[in-house]
Amino acid sequence: MTGLPEWSRAWGAPVGHARVAVRPEDFRVDERLGFAPAGEGPHLLVRVRKRRLSTARAMQALAGHWQVERRQMGHAGRKDRHALTTQWLSVPWPPGASLPPTGSIPLDQEPDARLEVIGVTRHRRKLPVGALAGNDFQLTLRDVEASADALRPRVVTIARYGVPNYFGPQRFGRDGDNLVRARRWFAGEAGPRSRNDRSMLLSAARAAAFNAILDDRVQAGDWCGAEPGEILTLDGRGSVFMAESGDLRHNRLRAAGLRVHPTGALPGSPGRSLAPPPSLAARERAVLQDWDDLVEGLVDKRLEAARRALRLSVRALAVRCLDGRTWRLSFRLMRGAYATAVLRELVEWGDD
């Protein structure tokens, strides 16, 4: 099995078709830090706005322009190059040195790209991956072939009940190439080209396994409950706990309010993550039988097992009709979540 299946939708077929990200300005992402800058220390927290530029390329350009060591820089998360995004980077900076100015950073031989420093403040340490609260999205849907009468009720449903927390297609690379390469690596063929490449291939393999587990739960209709025997997680947080029979009513109320969500396995070698009870473990193993090569590869590479929320709450969801065939969608997601998980429950999309 090398290709990716069409993962099940929770709320029925898409209500129509639209074009998405026709230009970078149609797909806006604003990163929200999970903490306040310290205001002092040997690093800078730098807020940048970028267009048609990957996070890695933005960091490379900034390092060259400010003459700092690229390996000492940090980021909280990667942002799509085919978008207009703001995000935070950290840069090592000598104590006592003047802060660098804000403004545009020159990009050689990339006339359609743009990188701008829009904020600089001191901080005590390098920015680690994952140190963000989430992201705000604003998507412009063009050439929409869907009626408002169909689209608006679907938006209400998503805001009220959430969507399946699938990993998005970008996790798997163009045409699923990252997953194909991971399988070849696990089979003893050509391995990753760098540490970052290794991380990317492992992430693709684990994401596909998780999506398969979530797909099974969506088909069964039990992807968003809080029944005894589930391993639950608090909304927007990484901690997990077992749902007990004595807390059934309380957990059901919290699940109905999108405050807790059931979780699914992120396969790997045994680690610190809470182990599922036998019935849940057996169910997940049965689903993953078709993905044994990925699971075995993840264990062999010693990637530690973890859990991920099956449901994604969609905050501040709003839709506005700009004209008859252009809609603007805005919402807020927790870190690690994909805007495509929301979009796929609304419309099909493409560039033609």
Cite the active site residues: 80
Query: Could you tell me the CA-to-CA distances from 327 to 17, 20, 141, 172, 330 in Å, in that order?
Result: 12, 10, 5, 28, 10
Helix (H, G, I), strand (E, B) or coil at 346: coil
C-alpha triplet 184, 185, 190: angle, nearest 5°: 90
Q: H helices of the chain, where? A: 55-66, 148-161, 177-186, 195-220, 248-256, 278-287, 292-300, 339-343
Distance CA 151, CA 238 (A): 32
Q: Which residues are CB-contacts of 242 (< 8 A; sequence separation ≥ 6)?
A: 229, 230, 231, 232, 274, 277
DSSP bridge partners of 19: 142
Query: What is the C-alpha separation between 115 and 68, in angstroms, rounded?
Result: 17
Cα→Cα distances 310→26, 64, 142, 295, Å: 28, 41, 30, 19
DSSP codes of every residue in 269-284: B--SSPPPPHHHHHHH
Integer Cα distance of 270 and 110 in angstroms: 45
Looking up tokens 């849907």, which residue turns up?
141
Residues 6+ apart with CB under 8 A from 247: none
Query: Cα–Cα distances in Å, from 14 out to 154, 159, 161, 266?
Result: 9, 16, 17, 28
